[in-house]
A and B are shown apart, each in its own frame.
Chain A
């Protein structure tokens, strides 16, 4: 027998079949559509199921780590689109699809639907910035359009209780996923507009798959948001999820909690602000009183300046000045008089006859009557005269000129 004719082991042949299948590019990157059945998840977390149409079926496996990344899990009777690769499961002689990505049928179209509706509404101007309305800084009445039983509503209530418990929350209950959700959401928005005077409406839903959030990409819902008289803030899904209503609404928040935060002031800040103003009120009043006090003190000082005591004191001082000046003037006058007296005295001294006599002069008096002889006419020849000198008197007789002339000649 030739080599080719030699029988192969089952394992060898199976390995060869696996080799052929895994070589094929089509079978290694393939989309397949069908209905799931016989779905079971084992304790290890892996999923096993069958995908089928009316004429054929194929075994599928989705590993735990892959399953964790999917937003959809297989359910019996549900049409699915699967992406993966074909491999052989040798122990059972089966081939199977190893699933890498799973989505409900039609989701592939969702993205295109989304883009089409977005473009349409944008062209109508529904996303325009000038359509965006503001809402009061203190929204005392807040409408919430969501499911009464959803986690989103509890999240919103928690945030509002802590942040702005002054508010009155009015829930407008609605389904938030499934085919019935869009008309209910529309009705929930209309209800609040018709019967309440809410300051703002929060339209919200917690995170989920793109299909779960699909109601918020519905044209009817988008138009109801656009038509709402009351401003609407949306918080749908998670940070990265954008839905059509987010574009139409007056403001988009990344999550329901963030939406609740976005529309309300924080009571902690409000308290601090009131406290600050309270402190400011007191310090301003203190400053004011201090200022008035200072003004009062200044007035008091001015009053004291203007008081009669001060006038009297001033007059007193003027009087003292005058007295001082008078005293000084009198003193000066006295000094002057004294000086004059001294001068007069000196003159008097120099006029004393004794002093003249001391200098060698003589006073002549008539011996007869004691009268002064100051002129040659005062005495006649033969008359007795007394010559008073410094140390005594000489007695003489007045002679005529001729007789005296002889004396002169005799002498000289």
Chain B
């Protein structure tokens, strides 16, 4: 499985949805299930951390196309 860090919120969340759906399907071995479950926990924590740390960034673009922080 891929590294979670660097995933966008919606990609991490979409994978969390898939993980839950796959677990719900119940066609996996116990070992695979446990691995998926661990993956799901990481994704969930990652999503929550993204939302927790979120802080609106505000910039301004000038006529030369430079984008500079506004505050």
Residue of B nearest to A187 (CB): B63
Residues in A with CB closer than 8 Å to B55 are: 165
Q: Which residue of A lies closest to B13 (CB)?
A: A274
Tell me, rounded to whole Å, the shortest Cβ–Cβ distance linking B54 to chain A: 4
Q: Is the CB of B10 within 8 A of A281?
A: no
Among A143, A191, A280, residue most surrounded by chain B Cβ atoms (within 10 Å): A280
Chain B, 4-60, CB within 8 A of any chain A CB: 8-10, 13, 16-17, 19-20, 23-24, 26, 30, 33-34, 37, 40-41, 44, 47-48, 50-51, 54-60
Residue from the list B13, B34, B51, B61 in contact with A172, Cβ < 8 A: B61
Q: Is A387 an interface residue (CB 8 A)?
A: no
The answer to whether B67 and A195 touch across the interface, beta carbons within 8 angstroms, is yes
Given A167-B57, A274-B16, A288–B10 Cβ distance below 8 Å?
no
Complex partner residue of A157 from B20, B23, B41, B56, CB under 8 angstroms:
B56
- Dominant secondary structure of chain B at its interface with chain A: helix
**How close is B30's CB to chain A, nearest CB, in angstroms?**
5
Q: Are A166 and B50 in contact (CB under 8 A)?
A: yes
Q: Which residue of A lies closest to B60 (CB)?
A: A171
CB of A288 within 8 A of CB of B60, answer: no
Tell whether, in the assembled complex, residue B23 and residue A270 are in contact, meaning their CB atoms are under 8 Å apart: no
List which A137-177 residues lie within 8 A (CB) of chain B: 137-138, 140, 143, 148, 157, 160-161, 164-173
Given A167-B56, A171-B70 in contact, is the A138-B63 Cβ separation under 8 Å?
no
B65–A194 CB distance below 8 A: yes
Query: Within the assembled complex, what's the spacing in Å between the Cα atoms of A157 and B59?
Result: 11
CA of A37 to CA of B55 in the docked complex: distance in angstroms? 52
Q: 1/0 per position for A280-312, CB-CB distance to B under 8 A?
A: 110011001001100000000000000000000
With contacts A157-B56, A166-B9 taken as known, whether A196 is within 8 angstroms of B61 at the C-beta atoms is: yes
Tell whether, in the assembled complex, residue B47 and residue A274 are in contact, meaning their CB atoms are under 8 Å apart.
Answer: yes
Interface residues in A, total, Cβ within 8 A: 39
Choose one: B9, B23, B57; the contact of A285 (CB below 8 Å).
B23
Q: Are A277 and B60 in contact (CB under 8 A)?
A: no
Assess the B59–A277 pair: CB atoms within 8 A: no
Decide if B65 touches A195 in the complex (CB within 8 Å). yes
Which A residues are in CB contact (< 8 Å) with B19?
281
| A191 and B66 alpha carbons, distance in the complex (Å) | 10
Distance in angstroms between the alpha carbons of A281 and B42 in the assembled complex: 11
CB distance from A159 to the nearest CB of B (A): 10
Q: Do the beta carbons of B61 and A281 come within 8 Å of each other?
A: no
**A271 adjacent to chain B (CB < 8 Å):** yes
A166 surroundings in chain B (CB, below 8 A): 9, 50-51, 54
Closest to B54 in A: A165
| Chain B residues, CB < 8 A from A196 | 61, 65, 67
Is A379 interfacial (CB-CB < 8 Å)?
Answer: no
Say yes or no: is A267 at the interface (Cβ < 8 Å to chain B).
yes
A222 within 8 A of B: no
Q: Which of B24, B56, B58 contacts A171 (CB 8 A)?
A: B58
CB-CB under 8 A for A191 and B20, given A165-B54, A169-B56: no
> Which residues on the B side are within 8 Å of A61 (C-beta)?
none
A263: interface (CB < 8 Å): no
Query: What separation, in Å, do the CA atoms of A161 and B34 have in the docked complex?
Result: 38
In the bound complex, do residue B58 and residue A169 qualify as a contact, i.e. CB atoms below 8 Å apart? yes
Contact A288 B57 (CB under 8 A): no
| A194 to B61 alpha-carbon distance, docked (Å) | 11
A1 to chain B, nearest CB (A): 85
Residues B37 and A285 in contact, CB atoms below 8 Å apart: yes
A162 to B: closest C-beta gap in Å: 9
Q: Supply 8 further A-B pairs (C-beta < 8 A) apart from A196-B65, A277-B13.
A: A161-B56, A167-B57, A267-B51, A273-B13, A274-B48, A281-B20, A284-B23, A292-B30
A-B contact pairs, 24 of them (CB 8 A): A138-B8, A138-B9, A143-B61, A161-B56, A165-B54, A165-B56, A166-B9, A168-B56, A168-B59, A170-B59, A171-B59, A173-B60, A196-B61, A267-B51, A270-B13, A274-B16, A275-B48, A278-B41, A278-B44, A278-B48, A281-B20, A281-B44, A284-B20, A288-B23
